[in-house]
Structure 1
Amino acid sequence: MLMSSGGQRAATLIYGPSGFRVVKSGDFVTCAVTGEAIPLEELRYWSVEKQEPYASAQIATRRILGEA
């Protein structure tokens, strides 16, 4: 589900322990592991330490455990 066309713009976020702050407005962020576009309203998983988003809990867990 690549959202880079049709007027969709990538957002820039700062990830915190209980939420994120939008630095540059946009419609989605890109999963740090899969490259999948994640609409901001669906973003649930990220790493505060690495400052990167993940498309699912499984992908986040793999990344944190060093498997991705």
Structure 2
Amino acid sequence: MLMNKNSGPSNGEAKLQYGPSGFRVLRPGNHVFCAMSGVPIPLEELRYWSVEHQEAYASAQLATERLAP
């Protein structure tokens, strides 16, 4: 995860760019929303995302469901 040192903690939704081994914070915030369930995911708990779709998932099960053929 790459965070801008000059951007202090911020409440609200973050805007992220998802990469294969981490993500970059484009707009500070403390959470993102799961693309499947809509639940907020605190950034420190974010473990699952799609680089191709540029979206986050709250669990491995939801990520698997979304990415299944």
TM interval, shorter chain, is 0.7 to 0.9
**Match for 2:49 among 39, 46, 50?**
46
State the number of aligned residues: 60
Identify the residue that residue 60 of structure 1 maps to in structure 2. Answer: 63
Identify the residue that residue 11 of structure 2 maps to in structure 1. Answer: 8
Structure 2 residues without counterparts, runs of 5 or longer: 1-9
Return the offset for 1:34. Answer: 0.2
TM-score, with structure 2 as normaliser: 0.83
CA-based RMSD = 1.2
Supply the distance in 2 between the matched residues of 1:65 and 1:36 (Cα, whole angstroms).
20
Aligned structure 1 segments of 4 or more residues deviating by more than 6 angstroms: none
Percent identity (aligned):
62
TM-score, with structure 1 as normaliser: 0.85
**Match for 2:31 among 13, 28, 32?**
28
Structure 1 residues without counterparts, runs of 5 or longer: 1-6
DSSP 3-state at the match of 1:60? helix
